[in-house]
Amino acid sequence: MRGRIGSREDRYQARLIRRYVGLGGRYLHLRGGVLAWPRSRQWLFQYRLRWSARRATTGDLTTLLDSGWREHLAASWLIAVGRRADLRDRIAQELLGDAPCGYGWDYCTALARLGTDQDAGLLRRYLDQALLLPCPVDESDDWQCQRHAMGTLLYLDGVLGTSYAQPLLAPGGLWERWSGDEGTDSLETVRENVAQLVAFAAGKDPLVRAQAR
């Protein structure tokens, strides 16, 4: 009986991966290349994402989040596109856990798209912890997402009219101590990138092509 149950669970997971992750190499496109596609192709991809986000159950998305990085990336985008607040507790559990989850990058877009004070507060609590960790020497050591999370928090502050990020950015504050000489110079670029990702998740034109021209 146990073997049959396990096999059924495996088949369920395989169906989810085919449906939500492997479809047309979706997870590869969601790594950023889709933002520069021709608008007509983008629109069709966005339409399919919205359809998948409506179709996916909470259980489907939870199963994908418990799988590999490709599945996690696709599920995080479906959360963002569908504004799936039912997965907020799951995001908080991973971002605020004792050990780095390694997927914070994916979650930043989802929280920015959810776009409430609750999401900004979640990012602030994450940064209160994560900025106490050493700044990574290179990207291969970066198991957290401090820069992306700070840019996302600045984006949400701008949208909500809040100031969650300001205490962290104060002279001598956590951000200055964590980032060293980098300061805040790179954060505007991150904030703009977050705005582009949110626009795409909302079905709008992220305007990356216009910037490239």
Distances (CA, A) of 119 to 4, 42, 89, 156, 209: 40, 27, 10, 8, 29
Q: How many domains does the chain have?
A: 1
- Predicted local confidence at residue 25, as pLDDT: 66
**Would the pLDDT of 4 be above 50?**
no
Q: What is the pLDDT of residues 133-181, one digit of tens each?
A: 888 766 555 567 899 999 999 999 999 999 999 999 999 999 999 988 6
Q: What is the pLDDT of residues 27-73, one digit of tens each?
A: 778 877 889 899 999 999 999 999 999 999 999 999 999 988 889 99
**Residue-averaged pLDDT of the chain:** 86
Q: What is the pLDDT of residues 173-212, one digit of tens each?
A: 999 999 886 656 689 999 999 999 999 999 999 988 656 4
Whole-number Å distance between alpha carbons of 54 and 59: 13
- Predicted local confidence at residue 28, as pLDDT: 76
Range of the domain at 8: 2-212
**Would the pLDDT of 1 be above 60?**
no
State the pTM of this model: 0.88
Distances (CA, A) of 38 to 32, 33, 80, 200: 14, 11, 22, 13
- Predicted local confidence at residue 213, as pLDDT: 46
Whole-number Å distance between alpha carbons of 81 and 26: 14
Q: Looking at residues 4-22, what average pLDDT do you find? A: 77
Whole-number Å distance between alpha carbons of 105 and 182: 20
DSSP secondary structure letter of residue 136: P
161/8: higher pLDDT: 161
Q: What is the pLDDT of residues 75-132, one digit of tens each?
A: 999 999 999 999 999 999 989 987 666 677 889 999 999 999 999 999 999 999 999 9
